Amino acid sequence: MQLAEFLAPFDADTFRTQYFGQRPLFIRGGSVARAALLPWARFNEVLALTPYWNEDTLKVYFKSRAALRENYCDTADLRAGTPAPVNPAKVKALMGLGASLVANQIHRVCPPIGDVARMLAAQFGARSFANVYCSFRGVQAFQTHFDLHDVFAVQAEGEKTWRIYEARADAPVAPVPPGDEGEKFLNATRGRVLEEIVMRPGDLLYLPRGQYHDALTGAQASLHITFGVAPATGLALLKLLEKVLTAESAFRAYLPDARDPAALAARLAQLAGRVREVMTAPAFAIDVQNHQREAGSVAADYGLPAQSPPAWYSLAKAARLVRRDAGFAVVYDGGEIAIGATYPTIEWLLGQRLFALEDAMARQPGVDPGELRRDLERLIGAGVLAPTEMR
């Protein structure tokens, strides 16, 4: 499913420019594929994958409060640090009392939902995941709240009434603590109801990060999927900078004693200038690009029973990868070759005497196979690498 089909009948380009990260959008029906993502039968099949479900991946809520794990998990003879496995009979009993079910990270065990999560990750250069919410007549599983990521909610079965409030938290990175005080704060700051929507199978609701909302199940049992989309924020740059700047002695050196304000100010100004140079350099833009690419996961496609014989290469000439602000290059005796986003893979393979192409591709999440093959051909042409037959 591509973005245009996922958002149908709404225009995908209009969504990108006028709604994503800006304001809510409700899309009524229109997509057969969206409506067929998770019927009851498929959800039951996924829940039957009992080894996957534990206290972390499956949550039970009753009257907006999380159930204790001993009420729905098996905790006897549990090793320290091991998540308690879910007891299906206990879960079923609690649902009979009106409890709601939240199946977290369901994209890992439900291929159709996993396909959509990967598509959203690729489209928005973001980390993407999916949770499923199952609730029963007249139940409000969660009080008013906001999420720390953008949300695409797809109604799969039954009906659910969503209330969207006018308040929107400012780029939140931490949730409001649970409990009565947190609930009072959210109710006091949510503002007026901006829109009230009744969602039916196939409907889609988009909520930008921080938008206050709550939801109430209708007369029938409800099943809906929320796809979370979390693009990288500016805070991610701090870790990328640390990785780059650790290689520079000026940042590894001790700082001047703060009791000498002039010396400290001079050093801070020097380091700040270098940070600016690094962040505005082409090489750092490649780091950010790779970070965004790595957010998406690759579908598990083994293609059995077919076998793909590995393509082997050997290192024919000593070479090393060099990082400069202007970019990356493979330097060898006789010249150098400019390298782009594949540089982490290239750096790894230059340290191997012998490697398989398939192994190299697996080293860097999100690497473009075509770009990597083109870079390998250039290294072969320069005599750095040589195709090798394994007998």
Locate CATH 2.60.120.650 in the chain: 3-231
Which residues 6+ apart lie within 8 Å of 132 measured at CB? 38, 43, 101, 102, 103, 106, 156, 223, 224, 225, 226
**In the predicted model, what is the mean pLDDT of residues 243-269?**
97
Q: How many other C-beta atoms lie within 10 A of the C-beta of residue 75?
A: 13
How would you class 196 by CB atoms within 10 Å of its CB: exposed for 0-12, middle for 13-18, buried for 19 or more?
A: exposed
- What percentage of residues in the chain have a pLDDT greater than 70? 99
Q: Which two tokens stand for residue 273?
A: 């200038």
Mean pLDDT of the chain: 93
* Residue 308 pLDDT: 81
- Exposure of 370 by Cβ count < 10 A (0-12 exposed, 13-18 middle, 19+ buried)? exposed
Band (304; pLDDT cuts 50, 70, 90): confident
* pLDDT (tens digit per residue) in 124-181: 999 999 999 999 987 776 789 999 999 999 999 999 999 999 999 999 999 999 888 9
Sequence-ordered alpha helix ranges (H) in the chain: 3-7, 12-18, 32-35, 40-47, 88-96, 111-124, 180-189, 236-245, 249-252, 261-279, 282-293, 343-349, 357-362, 369-381
CA 43 to chain CA centroid, nearest Å = 22
Distances (CA, A) of 39 to 34, 43, 84, 222, 244: 11, 6, 28, 11, 47
Phi-psi region at 24: left, alpha or beta (left = phi > 0; alpha = psi -120 to 50): beta
61 contacts: CB under 8 Å, gap ≥ 6: 67, 99, 100, 101, 102, 141, 142
Neighbours of 279 (CB within 10 A): 15
Contact 332, 369 (CB under 8 A): no
Instruction: Tell me how crowded residue 302 is: count the other CB atoms within 10 A of its CB.
Output: 7
Tell me the mean pLDDT in the region 227-234: 96
Encoded amino acid at 56, one letter: D
**Gap between the Cα atoms of 99 and 217, Å rounded:** 12
pLDDT at 389 over 90: no
Determine the pLDDT at residue 141. 63
Q: Which CATH superfamily is domain 3-231 in?
A: Cupin (2.60.120.650)
The predicted structure's pLDDT at residue 314: 96
Q: Measure the N-to-C terminal CA separation of the chain; round to a whole number of Å.
A: 42
Report pLDDT for 119: 95
Give Cα 66 distance to the centre of its chain: 24
Report pLDDT digits (tens) over 71-112.
999 998 888 889 999 999 999 999 998 899 999 999 999 999
- What does pTM read for this prediction? 0.91
**Partners of 339 in beta bridges:** 328
Read off φ and ψ for residue 234, nearest 5 degrees: -60, -20
330 close to 336: Cβ distance less than 8 angstroms? yes
Convert the pLDDT of each residue in 374-388 to its tens digit.
Answer: 999 999 999 999 999
Q: What are phi and psi of 205, to 5 degrees?
A: -125, 125
- Give 320-343 pLDDT, tens digit per residue: 999 999 999 999 998 999 999 999
Task: Just give the CATH number of 312-388.
Answer: 3.90.930.60
Q: Rounded to the nearest 5 degrees, what angle is found at the Cα of 62, between the Cα atoms of 59 and 63?
A: 135
CA atoms within 13 A on the CB side of 249: 0
Token readout for 150 is: 């953008």
Query: Cis before residue 9, ω within 30 degrees of 0?
Result: yes
| pLDDT tens figures, 15-53 | 999 999 999 999 998 778 888 999 999 999 999 999 999
